Amino acid sequence: MKPLHTSLLAASALLASSIVAASPAAAQTPAAAGGAVCEIDQNKPQNVARATLAMAQAQSALASGDPTPQLRTVVGLLNAPGMKNENPVGRAYLLGSAYLLLLDRPSINPIAVRSSVGHTVDPTGIIDLYAAADSALSIVEQSSAACAAQVTPFRQQKPWLTVTNAAINAVNANKFDSAEIFAKRSLTLDKSSPYPYSVMATVEKNRKNYPAMLEYAKKTLAAAGTDTAYADVREQTRFEIATTATLRSEAAAGAEKKTLAREAITAWNELMAHSPAEVRATAAVANLATLYAVAGDSASIPKIYAPMLADPSKFGENALLQAGVVASQNKRPKDAAALFAAVVERNPYQRDALNNLAASYLFMDDFKKVGPVVAKLTALDPSNPDSWMLYAFMYSGLMKAEKTPKLKNAYTDS
């Protein structure tokens, strides 16, 4: 099944509006937890103060024109030959801000010649603006916990949003090489979101690099955490882990096949425990039954549907129906009957459930329960000969169980 990736929908404010204070005074954020404040001095040395003024001019230019010239000035001032880095945090704060704003300019290539973004030292060299922004912001983050909290939202501003959506769109278009490039750029700016990890998991699965795929899938789940906004991401990721593990087991042989089957069993059970949704649970039941057999552990098959027997209301009718089929195939007609009955209770006109319920009662020799079920079947589809055959099996069973000759003959007449 093709992975589902939804484009990110986020309202992202203009970056400059939240980066630099209008005045050249020291930048300061509101008190964080515990009263800590991020204080960033933008007044010294002289080049930092001049860069602060140029950044304010770039901010003004955003509303009516192109801030690129002013941003180049910021970069040039902060990387001037012979500049003493007496204020590494203030310099890094402004430099990271400038790089992020440059990433949002359509005329700027993210992998650019250094002179094109304002560098005068090694002007013909190449700069990766994603990596450069990350390096600068990391210096600010490492200066204090309060500053780390201030930088976090910067990392998910428009440049990150744009490149992350590009990764998602590329993987959905099966452009896996491009998806990898965009996803890794996204991760360079911010490693807290599950989306780029999910894209990379899909890329590696397409390449059949399953160990790498599983590592990225685990990182997806870790980044998603328990946030309800990422519920779909978690469910899809667990499904991908389970289906990938199943494919690996199917392709293996001998002892490795059993080992991989057990890994797949763990993955499907994890999915069932967290996402008992209709489609996922139905697939999980069918795959688990096969995998337990491959692993040489058919005795554990009833564990698959034990939660369904305990509380059918938590599962959809297709999942319950599939579980009933699994129970029937493993010669457990009592379990099968209970599962099919749960489906019929929810949907009295489910023909497959009615047919299988009647068959389960026949296997249980509980012939008196067959009649009412078959009556519903024949009412739904009176021209179906299979339904009438169930009546024949029922009367045959009743006849064999009857000890009174006169009544036995009556069943024969029927």
Looking at the structure, do residues 104 and 116 belong to the same domain, yes or no?
yes
pLDDT value of position 31? 47
Which residues, 6+ apart, have CB-to-CB distance to 383 below 8 Å?
Answer: none
- E strand residue ranges, 46-147: 111-113, 126-128
In a domain, 371, yes or no: no
Looking at the structure, do residues 173 and 123 belong to the same domain, yes or no?
no
Looking at the structure, do residues 199 and 131 belong to the same domain, yes or no?
no
- Give pLDDT tens digits for 235-268: 999 999 999 999 999 999 999 999 999 999 999 9
pLDDT value of position 403? 60
- Give pLDDT tens digits for 73-87: 999 999 999 887 889
Looking at the structure, do residues 139 and 28 belong to the same domain, yes or no?
yes
Q: Say if residues 100 and 56 touch (Cβ distance below 8 Å).
A: no
**Three-state secondary structure call for residue 28:** strand
User: Residue ranges of the alpha helices (H) in 207-332?
Assistant: 210-224, 231-251, 254-274, 278-294, 301-310, 317-329
Looking at the structure, do residues 123 and 184 belong to the same domain, yes or no?
no
In a domain, 62, yes or no: yes
The pTM of the full predicted model, rounded to 2 decimals, is: 0.77
Enumerate residue ranges in the chain where pLDDT < 50: 1-26, 28, 30-33
Classify burial at 389, counting beta carbons within 10 Å of its beta carbon; exposed 0-12, middle 13-18, buried 19 or more.
Answer: exposed
In a domain, 18, yes or no: no
Question: What does the CA dihedral 324, 326, 328, 329 come to, rounded to 10 degrees?
Answer: 160
Looking at the structure, do residues 191 and 137 belong to the same domain, yes or no?
no
In a domain, 326, yes or no: no
Q: Which domain holds residue 163?
A: 159-225
The 10 Å Cβ neighbour count of residue 60 is: 14
Q: Say if residues 353 and 328 touch (Cβ distance below 8 Å).
A: no
In a domain, 133, yes or no: yes
Mode of pairing for the β-strands spanning 39-40 and 111-113: unpaired
Looking at the structure, do residues 148 and 185 belong to the same domain, yes or no?
no
Give the total number of structural domains in the chain.
Answer: 2
Distances (CA, A) of 359 to 29, 371, 378: 71, 11, 14
Looking at the structure, do residues 130 and 66 belong to the same domain, yes or no?
yes
Give 168's Cβ-side CA count (13 Å radius): 18
Which residue, 155, 175, 191, sits at the end of a domain?
155
